[in-house]
Amino acid sequence: MSEVIATNQTILVVGGGISGMTAALEAAECGKQVILVEKNPSVGGRVSQLYKYFPKLCHPKCGLEINLRRIKANRNLRVMAMTEVSKIEGDAGNYSVTLNTRPRYVNENCTACGECGTAVEAEFDDEYNYGLGKRKGAYRPFNQSFPERYVLDPAIIGTDDAEKAKAACKYDAIDLDMTDSETTITVGAVIWATGWKPYDAGKIQPYGYDRYKNVITSVEFERMLDPHGPTGGKILRPSDNKEAKDVAFIQCAGSRDQNHLKHCSRICCMASLKQTTYLREQYGDDARGTVYYIDIRAIDRIDDFYQNVQNDSNITFTKSKVASITEDKETGNPVLHGVDTEGYHRYSNPHELVVLAVGMEPSVPANGFPMEVVLNEEGFVELDEANGAFFAAGCSSDALDVNRAVQSATASALRAIQVVNKVAGAEG
C-alpha cells in the first residue's frame, strides 16, 4: 500500500455509506484533504443494497454512480477500503489516528475481469444479500462496487482455490502474501459515519425469525426484489422457493419496545409502504398485502404516499401489535396471532410470507469507539462539545432516512471544515 500522507489540516471520514461519501465529497470539493476509510471491501453502504428509494421509487444505483464519479475525479479524496480505526488520541485540530487495514489479496493491477471468481470453487454466505445467497471465494461485492477490484475471502488463503485464482489472473493482480497493516496518521477532525445495522430479529422470539423460514426481515425482502439479487427479483419463500403472493408486513418489529429498541427507527413505515408496491407490481390483482401496525408515522409527501397505498383495495391495514407467530406445518405458512385494536377482534391469520420491519440501531456499540464519545441512551453520537472535533454524520447520529442522513452529512462536513480552517489560520 502506498504511503498515507495526512496533516492536521486533513479530515478523516469513517464509514463509506451514503453519509460518509457525502461528507467526504462535500469537504474534498471545498478543497480540503480527506481520507475516507471503510471497513468493507467497497463503499456504498446500505443504500447500495436498496432496490428502490422512497418515496419516488427510483433506483439508488443512479445516485451511487454519480457519487462514485465524483470520488474518482477528486484528487483531494483518498479511499481506504477494508480499513478500521483502532485508536484516536489528541485533541480537536490535532488527532493521532491508528488505522488497521486487512489484506485484500488483490492489488491495483486488477481490472475486475472476473476470471479469479470463475476459477475458484469455494462458496460462502453472501453478506451483501444478507445471507440469502452464496458468493465465490473470489468476488466483487456488487456490480458497481468501488474500489473496482475483486477481493479474496481469507478462508481460501493457503488452499488450492487461492492458487487457482492466482493462476487465472492475467494481470498479476493476485497477491497472496498481503498481510494486515497498521498506519498512524494526523488529522484535524473526524467525521464518524459508520451508519446503522438492522436489529437482530432473532431476539424477537414470539415472531420466530430464527425458527420459521418464511419469516424474513425488511432488508432481506429488499434484496429479494432486486433483479440482481439472490432470487432474481422474484418474491420466493425461503422454505420451498414458491412464489409468495400473500405477504404480511409487521411494523415496529423490535422498535418502540422496552424489551428491544426503545426508539422509533423512522424508516420502518416508509419501508413497508414502499414494499407493498413491490408486491403489487409483481403480482398485480393476485397480490394480497396486509400491514400490521401500531400507528403509521407519515407526514408531508410521505402522507400522500401512505394515502395511495391505503386506497389500494389489495392492501389491508390491521391496527395491531402482533402477539406471536406460529407455523402451519402442512403449508409452511406463518400464522399471525393477535387482537385488532380497532374492533378488538382476535385473529389467527395465515400468510405465505411474513416481513418484519426491523428497526435500526447504531453499527458501533457503546464500547466500540476508538475514543471517549458522548452518546445518547439509544447509543447514537451526540453533538456535544466534549466530543471535540469528532462529529457524527447520518445514522451514527440518529435513526434517519436517506434524505435526512445526507443533510446530516453536509452539516458534519461544514463543522469539520471550520476546524481545519482554524488550524490553517483561515478563520479567526
Please give the Cα distance from 306 to 83 (Å, whole number). 41
Percent of the chain with pLDDT over 70: 97
Considering the domain architecture, whether residues 215 and 354 belong to the same structural domain is answered as yes
For 232-275, what is each residue's pLDDT tens digit? 999 999 999 999 999 999 999 999 999 999 999 989 999 999 99
Q: What nine digits make up the cell of 187?
A: 488529522
Spatial separation of the C-alpha atoms in residues 247 and 351, rounded to whole Å: 6
Residue 121 has a pLDDT of: 97
pLDDT at 317: 97
Could you tell me if 347 and 387 lie in one domain? no
User: What pLDDT is attached to residue 426?
Assistant: 65
Is residue 253 located within the same domain as residue 336? yes
Looking at the fold, whether 189 and 300 belong to one and the same domain comes out as no
Residues 18 and 66 in one domain: yes
Cell triple for 107:
492489488
pLDDT-derived band at 35 (thresholds 50, 70, 90) equals very high
Alpha-carbon distance of 150 to 143, in angstroms, equals 11
Strand partners, 399: none
- Residue 15 C-alpha cell reads as 464509514
- pLDDT tens for each residue of 1-23: 567 776 789 999 999 999 999 99
Does 189 lie in the same domain as 43? Answer: yes
Describe the strand order of the beta sheet including 77-81 as a list of residue ranges. 77-81, 33-38, 10-14, 189-192, 390-392
Q: Are 243 and 353 in contact (CB under 8 A)?
A: no
Answer yes or no: do 296 and 334 share one domain.
Answer: yes
Give, rounded to a whole angstrom, the gap between the first and last alpha carbons of the chain. Answer: 38
| Statement to judge: residues 379 and 327 lie in one domain | no
Cβ atoms of 130 and 238 within 8 Å: the answer is no
- For the record, the C-alpha cell of 168 comes out as 487465472
Query: Phi then psi for 154, rounded to 5 degrees?
Result: -60, -20
Give the pLDDT of residue 63.
85
CATH code for position 113: 3.30.70
In angstroms and rounded to an integer, the radius of gyration of the C-alpha atoms of the chain is 23
**Each residue of 159-189: pLDDT tens digit?**
999 999 999 999 999 999 999 999 999 999 9
| pTM for this prediction | 0.95
Tell me the C-alpha distance between 226 and 206, whole Å: 29
Sign of torsion over alpha carbons 214, 215, 218, 220: negative
The total of structural domains in the chain comes to 3
What is the chain's length? 428
Amino acid 148: pLDDT: 96
Which grid cell is 154? 481469507
The whole-number pLDDT of residue 212 equals 98
- Among candidate residues 121, 127, 299, the one with its CA nearest the CA of residue 138: 121
DSSP letters for 352-414:
SEEEEEE-EEESS-GGG-SS---B-TTSPBP--GGGTTEEE-GGGTS---HHHHHHHHHHHHH
374: DSSP letter? -
Domain identity same for 153 and 223: no
Contact 167, 97 (CB under 8 A): no
Given a cut of 90, is residue 343 above it in pLDDT? no
Question: What pLDDT digit, counting tens, does each position of 357-384 carry?
Answer: 999 999 999 999 999 999 999 999 999 9
Residue 286, domain extent: 199-360
Q: Are 117 and 136 members of one domain?
A: yes
